[in-house]
Amino acid sequence: MALQIHTICRPISPAPALSIGPRLSRPTKHSKIAGEVQRPVSLVKTINSKQLRSSVTVRSSLETSGPAVVVGEVTEVDKDTFWPIVNAAGDKTVVLDMYTQWCGPCKIMAPKFQELAEKYLDVVFLKLDCNQENKSLAKELGIKVVPTFKILKHSKIVKEVTGAKFDNLVAAMEEVRSKDASVVKVPSLASAQDVQDQMRLLAYSQF
């Protein structure tokens, strides 16, 4: 007698999901790569901006359109730059300090000369080292002793002060500057009598 065995298969219900708190979202590969790309880009922008700021320079007029005429400080000149700067000064008064490195009185006058440059902003102050390289210019200007101060106007020497004579230098400068001021003519104001005469002429012209 054959036995028949019937197997009964019952569906197994899925196990309930365990709750372990809010699920954290993991960054995708795309967002991770994008984040890594953005950081180098922002760094490059920062570096470039710093490089641009440090490379911005202001070109002086000496580099663009001839020699620069500077006021408020003493400008060092040589045989090549002296006359171009003097000519570029135009109608400004130019004071030249002719000195040497070994001259003691020259060293005493140097800080005082700088103070004058900071005070007289309408005057161009120059200094020339009368060394071997500038010997030809020193000879041209007729230097005999150091220090020697040459005062120029319209590219011509008008005054000279020899030695460390600060008061004499200031007096010579003031004399040249006062001549410039005397040239300026201020129009005179009309007097009261002139105004009355003009009013009378205007009244007569209306008849």
- Catalytically active residues are 103, 106
User: Which candidate, 109, 110, 124, places its Cα nearest to that of 165?
Assistant: 109
Tokens describing residue 29: 């590969």
CA distance 98 to 143: 8
> Which residues make Cβ contacts (< 8 Å) with residue 144, sequence separation at least 6?
162
DSSP letter string, 38-84 = HHHHHHHHHHHHHHHHHH--PPPHHHHSS-----SSEEEE-TTTHHH
Cα Rg of the chain (Å, integer): 43
